[in-house]
A and B are shown apart, each in its own frame.
Chain A
Amino acid sequence: ETGVTQSPTHLIKTRGQQVTLRCSSQSGHNTVSWYQQALGQGPQFIFQYYREEENGRGNFPPRFSGLQFPNYSSELNVNALELDDSALYLCASSSGGSGEKLFFGSGTQLSVL
């Protein structure tokens, strides 16, 4: 078990709604990355936060936004939900160096109806 916890574990929303997903990083880690994993696909990088600043972003629209707090926990917010946003959302923490392995949480399964 990693020390990364995500909440909620499951969520059902309807199209057009907004959602906030939460992540507590492993103790000692200052970097949090978010990934989206559609069924049968590998995780896709959404963005990364390092010491409360966005450190890089993947190919996701601006309605995907995030925050990192002083205790290095993080939130992922998705506005104007679309059906294709249905996926497993994974949070991963690391100590921020190049080549660092990622410690993933178990994810939040989001279903958009």
Chain B
Amino acid sequence: SQKIEQNSEALNIQEGKTATLTCNYTNYSPAYLQWYRQDPGRGPVFLLLIRENEKEKRKERLKVTFDTTLKQSLFHITASQPADSATYLCALANSGGSNYKLTFGKGTLLTVNP
């Protein structure tokens, strides 16, 4: 069966360190993968998209990698700040006719301690 797993339900790090979140998938052929941030009581907010033929994307302090052989994406926040504390969701869309549908992982709750 198809699965998306974000390996840590919760991650606690010290301010200034790099947070690394993991997203693994099975039985998908993703056309692209997206990362979202969700704060309590709010809808997810788009952060980054990476396509199947891309290895890495960066945006300010954020970096995403995508390894279709390992079936894994890593999401990094460098120089983390307490304001980065939130739940981070990965989501992917299959290639082919159903690429309108995003399938989300459960999310990883990141807490950055001052």
- Give chain A interface residues in 37-94, CB to chain B under 8 Å: 40-45, 48, 50, 55-56, 58, 90, 92
Number of interface residues of B (CB under 8 A): 26
Interface residues in B51-71 (C-beta closer than 8 Å to A):
51
**Contact indicator per residue, chain B 64-101, by CB within 8 Å of chain A (1) or not (0):** 00000000000000000000000001010100001111
In the complex, what distance in Å separates the CA atom of A40 from the CA atom of B62? 24
Interface residues on A, range: 20 to 34
Asked if B101 contacts A56 (CB within 8 A), the reply is yes
A residues in contact with B99, CB < 8 Å = 98-99
Asked whether any CB of chain A lies closer than 8 Å to the CB of B34, the reply is: yes
Q: Are B100 and A104 closer than 8 Å at their CB atoms?
A: no
Using a CB–CB cutoff of 8 Å, the interface residues on chain B facing chain A are 4, 31-32, 34, 36, 41-46, 49, 51, 89, 91, 93, 98-107
Task: Enumerate the 7 nearest inter-chain pairs by beta-carbon distance, A residue then B residue, closest first.
Answer: A104-B43, A42-B104, A101-B46, A45-B101, A99-B32, A56-B100, A42-B106
